Amino acid sequence: MAVRALVFDVFGTLVDWRSGVAEAFRASGVEGTAGDLADDWRGRYRPILAEVNEGERSWANFDELHHVTLDDLLAERRRDLPVEERRRLVEAWHRLDPWPDVPAGLEALRRRRVVATLSNGHVALLVDLARYGDLRFDCILSAELARVYKPARAAYLMAARLLGVEAGELMLVAAHGWDLDGAREAGLRTAFVDRPLEYGPGSGGRAHPDADVSVSELVELAERLPG
């Protein structure tokens, strides 16, 4: 079956969340190493999404969840921070730089296939990121539209349904094994893109041998698209 459309994970795969969030921590004056604070915050992401998916927490979007996890992080570290500063930190997730290969890579792929996001971030957040990074997508898709977070099967199948393609005609592009595994289990094709700098310099490259394609830059993927 030919790949008719590509959907992209966003945080870590297309944009460098760590640099932007660390910079926001630096500006906030919160005591601690900015990179560590960013990693700590990001580390609370999958557990809280699991709470939502398992029905232990009612549906909430990324801004709402970022507020909760930031409050937890600051409380555990016994750091105080005014509400306005907390809001600024949450908003830092709306303005993150794309990895350098992304603008040209997306354009090359968009000439060949339908290109959309498929992020756990909500639609308004993705719109802000795309505008900030001047990234052009054919469509913004978000787990928000399925009201269940990746890696739940329904999030991937929603994307195929809305794009009018079979699951097997849709390819998820992501830097994270858990996301690629979720997509594969839902019947999608998968492309792993290595982002060795996601957790900062020296955090190292990754691999995902189960992916249909593995690349280190998006332009490579444009040349190696199956079908």
User: Where on the chain is the footprint of a second copy (CB under 8 A)?
Assistant: 114, 116, 122-127, 130-131, 136, 138-140, 144-145, 162-165
Q: How far apart are CA 94 and CA 172, in angstroms?
A: 22
56 vs 134, which CB is nearer to a second copy? Answer: 134
Closest distance between a second copy and the C-beta of residue 191, in Å?
20
- Nearest of 30, 1, 8, 225 to residue 130 by alpha carbon: 8
Closest distance between a second copy and the C-beta of residue 160, in Å?
10
81 vs 124, which CB is nearer to a second copy? Answer: 124
Beta bridge partners of 98: 15
Q: ∠ CA(20), CA(83), CA(25), 5° rounding?
A: 25
Closest distance between a second copy and the C-beta of residue 154, in Å?
15
- For residue 159 the two structure tokens come to 């994307």
- Nearest of 199, 5, 33 to residue 118 by alpha carbon: 5
101 vs 169, which CB is nearer to a second copy? Answer: 169
Classify strands 189-193 and 213-215 as parallel, antiparallel or unpaired: parallel
Closest distance between a second copy and the C-beta of residue 200, in Å?
30
DSSP 148: S
87 vs 136, which CB is nearer to a second copy? Answer: 136
89 vs 130, which CB is nearer to a second copy? Answer: 130
Give the count of beta carbons closer than 10 Å to the beta carbon of residue 217. Answer: 15
Buried b (16+ CB within 10 A) or exposed e, 177-188: bebbbbbbebeb
Closest distance between a second copy and the C-beta of residue 66, in Å?
14
